[in-house]
Amino acid sequence: MANQMREAAIVGIHEYPLRVAPGRSAMQIKVESIKAALDDAGLKWSDIDAVYDTNDGEGGGGLGMAPYLGLKPTVIDTTQVGGSSYEFQTAHALRDIAAGKANVAVLTYGSTAASSRRAIGTGGATGQGLPNWQGNMEDPYGMITVGNYALVAHRHMHEYGTTTEDLAEISVATRLHATRNPEAVKAMTDLQFMGTGEITIQDVLESRMISDPLHLLECCMQSDGGGAVIIASRDVARGTKKKPAWIIGTGEAIKYRENGGDITTSAAAQGGPIAFAEAQVTPAEIDIAMIYDSFTITVATILEDLGFCKKGEYRDLAKGGRFRFDTALKPTLNTDGGGLSSNHPGMRGIFLLFESVRQLRGESTSQVAGAKLAIAHGNGGALGGTHAGGSVILAAD
C-alpha cells in the first residue's frame, strides 16, 4: 500500500433528484447539478479549470459546455463511450490533474430520455442516417438493445448452467436497496412501475419476457436525470467540505464481436486487472461494487470479468443474498437501487460514481458500515457487440 496513489479525489457530487423532469433541458439539468456539486465540495464556480462532457446532444461536449458555463478551462475532454464515459473521463481527469494540467475538474450529465421518449431498450433504429458498413450487415435482422444483451445471457446459460433464478438475485437485491432510497421510490412511482416494493425471484420469473431469456424485471428503467462530479487535486481535496474519495486505480478497454470470440466475456476482463494492479488491492477487498445494471446479465458478466469470481462461476457467487447491504458477505451491489430500480437516463456511468462516494462518506440510504473500498464499473455501447468498459477504484480518506 505504500505507493498507493493519492493524486486526485472525487470531492463533490450531485445526483439530479428527478427521474421525470418535464420542461427542463439536458443542459439545465447539467448546470443545476454542477452548482450543487460545487456546493457539496465547498468550491467556487471560478475554481473549475477542466471540463469533461460526452456531447450527448443539446449543445454539450467540451466545446458546448464551457461557453454556456462562461468558463475558459485549460483542459477540455469530450470522450464519448456511451454509459462508461464517466469512468473513462474520471481516468482522464486523474491523469490530467496528476500531470499538472488542471486542479478542479467537472464531469457532467443531463438527459431527458423519459420525457422525450427516446428509445433505449426496444427501439430498433434502422434505415436512418448515411449508409454504413455496420448498418448494412445488421439492419435487416432486427437487432434491439435488449436483444443484444439477451444474446450474451443465452450463451452464458449454455456454457455455465447459469439460470434466470441466478440472474434474478441481482434484481431482488437492487430493488431492496431502491425501496430504501426515497429518490428511487419516487422514480418508480413517477415512471408508473407496477409496484415499488421489494420483489422476489419468483416475481422476476413471472414478469413479462422481453427478449428471451431476459424478463421485464431484469431490464433497466428509462428515466430523465443527470448530475455532476467534481474531481480535485490532492492539495485542493485536503481543503474541501467533505471527506475526499481517492481515485486509486482506473482501467479502460473496449471489446467487439470477433470471429470465434467469447461473447460471455466483456471489456472488464481487460481493463479491470489494470485498475486493480494500479490500486494495489484485490477484488476480495472491495466493499461496494457499483456495476452498470442495464440488464441483469451485464452485472453477472462484469462481476466475473473483474475477478469477484472465476468466469462461469457467477451462479455460486450470487448465492446467499451476498449482494444485499445487510449481509456480511462482500461485495455489496448497487446500493442506490441501480438502473433497474432508481435511475437510467441512457448513460448510467456517472451514478455509479455518486453512490460509490456516498458509501465511502457514510451517506448511502443502504449504508455498509465501515465501507473503505468501492469499484465503479461502467459499460457503454452494447454488451453483446461493440462496447467500452471503464473501471474506477475509489478509497475512503
Q: Which residues bind another protein (CB under 8 A)?
A: 119, 122-127, 131-144, 146-147, 150-155, 158, 209-214, 257-261, 263, 384
Q: Closest CB to another protein among 155 and 372?
A: 155
Q: Closest CB to another protein among 153 and 347?
A: 153
Q: Closest CB to another protein among 65 and 214?
A: 214
Q: Closest CB to another protein among 66 and 216?
A: 216
Task: Give me the helices (H) in the chain, please.
Answer: 26-41, 62-69, 85-98, 133-138, 145-160, 164-179, 182-190, 201-206, 234-237, 268-279, 296-306, 314-317, 338-341, 349-361
- Helix or strand or coil: residue 106? strand
Q: Closest CB to another protein among 110 and 147?
A: 147
Prior bond of 213 cis (ω within 30°): yes
CA angle 53, 109, 106 (to 5 degrees): 55
Residue matched to cell numbers 444474446: 151
Least Å distance between CB 266 and another protein?
14
SS3 content of the chain, % helix, strand, coil (to 5): 40, 20, 40
Indicate the helix (H) or strand (E) that contains 48.
none
288-291 and 75-77 strand pairing? unpaired
Least Å distance between CB 258 and another protein?
8
Could you tell me the CA-to-CA distances from 57 to 109, 110, 135, 344 in Å, in that order?
Answer: 10, 9, 22, 17
**First CA to last CA distance, the chain:** 14
DSSP symbols for 188-253:
HHHTT-S--S---HHHHHHSPEEETTEEGGGB-----EEEEEEEEEHHHHTTSSS--EEEEEEEEE
Least Å distance between CB 138 and another protein?
5
Least Å distance between CB 150 and another protein?
4
Q: Closest CB to another protein among 263 and 350?
A: 263
Least Å distance between CB 84 and another protein?
23
Least Å distance between CB 125 and another protein?
8
Q: How far apart are CA 206 and CA 47, in angstroms?
A: 52
Least Å distance between CB 29 and another protein?
26
Q: Closest CB to another protein among 137 and 194?
A: 137
387-395 and 245-255 strand pairing? antiparallel
Q: Closest CB to another protein among 126 and 280?
A: 126
Least Å distance between CB 235 and another protein?
45
